[in-house]
Chains A and B, each alone.
Chain A
């Protein structure tokens, strides 16, 4: 039986079938659904860790203990987890460990488009790259076997178009192997697992030897294969790009690489000697291309295809046409010539109607403070008309950056804004630094009580685990006070007057402080109040309410209107209207 699955669902299914019993992750688009789906299988433990580094250590621990384990994250999550990844390569593991890691070419929902294939070479471990959901399932099993056979973690790399695309997956009748009946005794092996310099020096040659053996293995593994066709053109590709290239060059000979590191040199040589022209098609970095060039083989690649952005069949077709690899356009393009010129306004993502962050950003903008920001839905507060965030680099950066700005010294009053889940991810250490090294900034924890942007995942503050168990909830206020902050307030951003009063109090206090801006995400709570109404006779059409950047508010010819289907009834517009023309219905 076949079932449609996204790549992420299939990775989870593959992990389950292969006997993975421990999973850990931090949510991040496009990887989030891997662990969400894995968590639903019977007999497994799966968790949202506070961040990717913790997740990686949890996976390594489980694998040290002999269980098969999976850790998942988005591409930039591996930056956070890199320290742990590197030591795990040195120590090796007992049970198989797979890192399912999703890159985001095109930056649909990311701050950069790093190519994580480089991590395989950098950290010296094998990497596989599936090209559809069925391969996601299968490669998970191959990766776990490889992990155990070669005593190394293995990365299974996807991209957005694999993780979030659906294709049929063969459902197997057999489930996973049964778990061991008895708990094993932990195998203590300090020479291998305590990475003091003396021990680590013993391990490094082992790793170099291992990568050579893996390269030999890559020659034989079936997921690296030559797919014969017309030998005048030979295409080297992997993952989603292989599928796009198949559409564009239906007759070419292909070298399809399922294992993208280490590369099979003999197979590549055989392929190159067989075809007239070798063309490497790969998104982002010239990873294969550089390797093949170093082998002394002439290839085309980044001279034809871009290093920037996401590929598509159309883009590959266009580039190939311009380079003379093909001679006809994909389709007759006549529409473009005859299309009337209509200007289409863009539609960027915005804070939802009823979002508590809106009230907070409204006050921050009105106060004119410098806002050092962070990653989450609230990053959208940078955009006009709220325009109240001035930096955002990576998870947890806000507080440290604010501290640095304060130490350099500027005239501005300084605020760091960080979400609750992001704070648990990597905001606690910089918050300690602010107090330890004394800068008088105000940190606002924008607490919507869930990891909202990635689709409402639980976190250490919610009191619920990934597998829906009730658990201890870390109290943000108590946590912050325990560090030593004594100016801490919890305030509802729906109450603009109160919020402004508290903010002014903190900014004028001359000491480091924390405001917890608390309002649960309305998309998550599904809370909806009766929409207010605009009294058209009173409305002067001044546009003050429109500066909230709330989608139900619409400027008409003579007044502002509210679309009741979109409105959440939060009442911020009622509060900001200078002539009291927006009113909640009086019952």
Chain B
């Protein structure tokens, strides 16, 4: 049975919910059965957020099985580092090179891990770990809110499926006045060389 599991990890307010909605709809557009799970409420207030998106011939559980996730998208570096146990050996990890220090770090009571540490942590779990500057790209486009779509652009070149499926969903799901911005963000993400 074919299946692709995605996990998005970030911080409340970073736009993981829109990105996960788009990714779920793309799966449906490509003809898969789709389930998606996330938690709202208190977690939105600057806490850790995670979204599971599952594509497959038939999907039962909306959350993925530990060690079986195919793609991990880290919207924030530290948050990406929490999920090695969830990803499979040949998974792809895309990490946005952006830090939001948690309160304990701001207060000097804990240390934010270095990029190399997070990189080796992720590489111990998955063979392909790509670091991208999605926040920077989004800022260049004039709106930091589109990092999620930049990340999806980068992801799309690895996942495959016709580009039109992705574009259709973005056009359908984004408010009209933001469609151009988001299409540009998607394209900018697609152009990122993953190496």
Interface residues of A (CB under 8 A from B): 2, 4, 29-30, 32, 108-109, 132, 160-161, 164-168, 240, 243-244, 246-247, 312-314, 317, 330-336, 338-340, 342-352, 377, 380, 383-385, 453-455, 543, 546, 549, 551, 553-555, 565-566
Contacts and interface: CB of A to CB of B under 8 A. Distances in A.
B107 A385 contact: yes
Given A161-B37, A335-B124, A347-B48, A551 B106 contact: yes
26 contacts: A4-B21, A4-B25, A4-B34, A29-B40, A30-B39, A108-B42, A108-B43, A109-B40, A160-B39, A161-B62, A166-B37, A167-B35, A167-B36, A312-B66, A331-B68, A343-B111, A345-B111, A346-B104, A347-B11, A349-B12, A351-B46, A352-B46, A453-B45, A543-B107, A551-B103, A554-B106
Contact of B62 (A240, A380, A384, A546): A240
Contacts of A2: 28
Given A4-B25, A335-B89, 14 more contacts: A30-B41, A161-B63, A165-B62, A246-B60, A312-B66, A331-B68, A343-B110, A346-B48, A348-B102, A349-B12, A349-B43, A349-B44, A454-B41, A554-B101
Contacts of B118: 342
Contact of B45 (A32, A342, A377): A377
Interface stretch (B77-85, B149-157, B181-189): B77-85
B129 interface: no
Given A333-B67, A551-B46, A167 B41 contact: no
Contacts of A349: 12, 42-47
A335 B117 contact: no
A90 B9 CA distance: 48
A335 B86 CA distance: 10
B34 A166 contact: yes
Nearest to B102: A347
Nearest to B91: A335
A164 B51 CA distance: 10
Contact of B41 (A109, A351, A385): A109
A549 B60 contact: no
B144 interface: yes
B30 interface: no
Contact of A247 (B34, B42, B61, B111): B61
Contacts of B37: 161, 164-166
Given A4-B36, A342-B121, A243 B42 contact: no
B106 A546 contact: yes
Given A312-B63, A313-B65, A330-B67, A348 B38 contact: no
A167 B25 CA distance: 10
B123 to A, nearest CB: 9
B65 A247 contact: yes
A167 B59 CA distance: 9
B88 interface: yes
A166 B37 CA distance: 6
Contact of B100 (A243, A332, A566): A566
Contact of B113 (A108, A168, A247, A343): A343
Given A344-B78, A349-B12, A454-B41, A313 B63 contact: yes
A554 B107 CA distance: 7
Main secondary structure of the interface of A (DSSP, over half): loop
Given A385-B107, A543-B107, A551-B46, A168 B63 contact: no
A244 B41 contact: no
Contacts of A351: 45-46
A161 B38 CA distance: 8
Q: Which 7 A-B pairs have the closest CB atoms?
A: A29-B41, A109-B41, A349-B47, A331-B67, A165-B62, A345-B110, A349-B45
Contacts of A345: 78, 102, 104-105, 110-112
B166 to A, nearest CB: 15
Given A345-B111, A543-B108, A164 B68 contact: no
Contacts of A549: 103, 107
B101 to A, nearest CB: 6
Given A2-B28, A4-B28, A313-B65, A344 B34 contact: no
Contacts of A546: 106-108
Contacts of B124: 335, 338-340
Contacts of A553: 106
Given A161-B62, A350-B45, A555 B39 contact: no
Given A342-B113, A344-B82, A165 B36 contact: yes
B132 interface: no
A342 B124 CA distance: 12
A455 B40 CA distance: 9
B38 A164 contact: yes
Contact of A167 (B34, B64, B67, B111): B34
Contacts of A454: 41
B144 to A, nearest CB: 6
B125 interface: yes
B155 to A, nearest CB: 18
Contact of B47 (A247, A331, A350, A566): A350
Contact of A334 (B39, B60, B89): B89
Contacts of A565: 144
A344 B103 contact: no
Contacts of B105: 345, 554
B73 interface: no
A386 to B, nearest CB: 10
B91 to A, nearest CB: 10
Nearest to A330: B65
Contacts of B79: 347
Contacts of B102: 345-348
Given A109-B41, A339-B124, A331 B66 contact: yes
A479 B136 CA distance: 50
B120 interface: yes
Contacts of A344: 78, 81-82, 113
Nearest to A348: B47
A566 B34 CA distance: 34
B116 to A, nearest CB: 10
B121 A340 contact: yes
A132 B62 CA distance: 9
A340 B117 CA distance: 8
Nearest to A314: B66
B19 interface: no
A313 B62 CA distance: 9
B24 interface: yes
Contact of B78 (A29, A243, A333, A347): A347
Contacts of A313: 61, 63-65
Contact of A164 (B39, B87, B106, B112): B39
Nearest to B63: A312
Contact of B60 (A244, A335, A453): A244
Nearest to A345: B110
A340 B120 contact: yes
